[in-house]
């Protein structure tokens, strides 16, 4: 295989000088303060090696990338019954859109748009206090990455809670259809906190490694079955970038999940996982340079799941 470290170094060097960086998310005030000049990338190979370049050791808000981990945890708890309350189709709409919920009985199209992730958060509550569910999610992510140092940025969570009017609307709307078991504010408390998990690229790549390694996590333990890892990856490919998912598959060709903090977690089945971070976003709320970096990486390494 081509010299992966050399490819990562070259990509990081190019990305650090580009000026077309996109816009940092401003609707969550704490995220608006992040330096758009940052760029980090990390690859966790299934053979155990981790390679990084750029600001790969600097923590950022993983935001919607966390939806991969909450979906995985919820599937472990409720199994395929989850799909009675959340669909598996791309929405073709922005991540915070409400329009389809009215015609589709309050059942969100998929677990990666905000309403889908709020339903998943509601499942993780399972009659407990939000604090317990949040603690369980954090411990699960720490376990996946084999790293106890991962924390929640409570300032980001508070910032989103104070301004998350759309998410409040989505939760209340779904509650009116009977698709939340708990009070909307409880499900939202879980949701805002898991979105506020802070990780660096190295930790994020390690946490996602189970997707590339037939369900085996960074610590070598089996996290999920190989089939479940495949299915979660399929949803990442079709829904992981919202209404930009088709374009991402076209350009990059690997299953991946984005977040408005500028992070993207991708998986190359049988090879490894990759995490990239560049805070500036494109019009769909996906990292602009993060996407470009993954496009270049996948091309240089022949990593598209659609063939070399």
Q: Which of 68, 191, 257, 287 is catalytic?
A: 191
Among 55, 122, 153, 160, binds ligand GLN (CB under 6 A): 160
Shortest approach of ligand GLN to residue 20 CB, angstroms? 21
Residue closer to ligand GLN by CB (options 260, 292) is 260
Helix (H) or strand (E) holding 205: helix 201-207
Among 87, 217, 259, 269, binds ligand GLN (CB under 6 A): 259
Closest CA to 116 of 187, 197, 219: 187
Shortest approach of ligand GLN to residue 114 CB, angstroms? 5
The reply to whether 239 sits near ligand GLN by the rule CB under 6 A is: no
The reply to whether 122 sits near ligand GLN by the rule CB under 6 A is: no
Shortest approach of ligand GLN to residue 303 CB, angstroms? 24
Is residue 287 annotated as a catalytic residue, yes or no? no
Shortest approach of ligand GLN to residue 302 CB, angstroms? 29
Summarize the annotated binding site as residue ranges. 64, 114, 160, 167, 191, 242, 260
CA 21 to chain CA mean position, Å: 20
> Do the Cβ atoms of 148 and 207 come closer than 8 Å?
no
Is residue 64 annotated as a catalytic residue, yes or no? yes
> Do the Cβ atoms of 174 and 119 come closer than 8 Å?
yes
- d(Cα 273, Cα 197) in Å, to the nearest integer? 19
Shortest approach of ligand GLN to residue 57 CB, angstroms? 22
Pairing mode, if any, of strands 60-61 and 151-152?
unpaired
The reply to whether 91 sits near ligand GLN by the rule CB under 6 A is: no
- d(Cα 113, Cα 55) in Å, to the nearest integer? 28
Among 39, 60, 69, 95, binds ligand GLN (CB under 6 A): 95
Q: Which of 50, 68, 224, 260 is catalytic?
A: 260
Please enumerate in sequence order all residues whose Cβ is within 8 A of that of 149, keeping only pairs 6 or more positions apart, or say none: 142, 203
Q: Which of 7, 50, 66, 67 is catalytic?
A: 67
Q: What is the pattern of x (binds ligand GLN, CB under 6 A) and - over residues 58-87?
A: -----xx-----------------------
- d(Cα 126, Cα 181) in Å, to the nearest integer? 8
DSSP state of 65: G
Helix then strand then coil, in percent of the chain rounded to 5, is 50, 15, 35
Residue closer to ligand GLN by CB (options 160, 213) is 160
Is residue 99 annotated as a catalytic residue, yes or no? no
3 state DSSP class of 60: strand
- Residue at token pair 């019009």: 283
Q: What is the pattern of x (binds ligand GLN, CB under 6 A) and - over residues 9-48?
A: ----------------------------------------
Is residue 191 annotated as a catalytic residue, yes or no? yes
Neighbours of 176 (CB within 10 A): 12
- d(Cα 206, Cα 273) in Å, to the nearest integer? 7
Residue ranges binding ligand GLN (CB under 6 A): 63-64, 95-96, 114, 160, 167, 195, 259-260, 285
Q: Where in the sequence numbering do the catalytic residues fall?
A: 64, 67, 191, 242, 260
């Amino acid at each position: 295989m081509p010299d992966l470290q050399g490819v990562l170094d070259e990509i990081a060097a190019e990305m650090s000088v580009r000026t077309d960086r996109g816009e940092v998310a401003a609707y969550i005030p704490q995220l608006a303060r992040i330096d758009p000049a940052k760029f980090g990338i990390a690859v966790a190979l299934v053979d155990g090696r981790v390679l990084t370049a750029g600001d790969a050791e600097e923590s950022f808000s993983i935001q919607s990338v966390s939806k991969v981990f909450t979906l995985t945890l919820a599937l472990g708890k409720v199994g395929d019954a989850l799909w009675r309350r959340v669909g598996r189709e791309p929405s073709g709409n922005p991540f915070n859109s409400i329009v389809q919920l009215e015609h589709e009985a309050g059942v969100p199209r998929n677990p990666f748009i905000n309403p889908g992730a709020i339903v998943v958060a509601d499942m993780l509550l399972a009659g407990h206090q939000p604090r317990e569910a949040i603690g369980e999610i954090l411990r699960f992510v720490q376990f996946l990455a084999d790293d106890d140092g991962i924390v929640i940025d409570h300032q980001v969570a508070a910032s989103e809670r104070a301004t998350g009017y759309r998410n409040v609307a989505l939760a209340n709307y779904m509650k009116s259809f009977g698709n939340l078991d708990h009070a909307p504010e409880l499900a939202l408390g879980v949701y805002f906190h898991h979105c506020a998990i802070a990780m660096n690229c190295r930790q994020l790549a390690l946490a996602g490694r189970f997707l590339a390694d037939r369900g085996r996590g960074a610590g070598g333990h089996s996290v999920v079955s190989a089939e479940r890892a495949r299915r979660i990856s399929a949803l990442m490919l079709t829904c992981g970038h919202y209404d930009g998912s088709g374009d991402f598959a076209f350009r990059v060709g690997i299953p991946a999940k984005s977040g408005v903090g500028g992070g993207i977690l991708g998986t190359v089945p049988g090879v490894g996982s990759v995490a990239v971070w560049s805070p500036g976003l494109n019009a769909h709320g996906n990292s602009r340079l993060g996407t470009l970096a993954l496009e270049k990486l996948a091309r240089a390494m022949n990593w598209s799941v659609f063939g070399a």
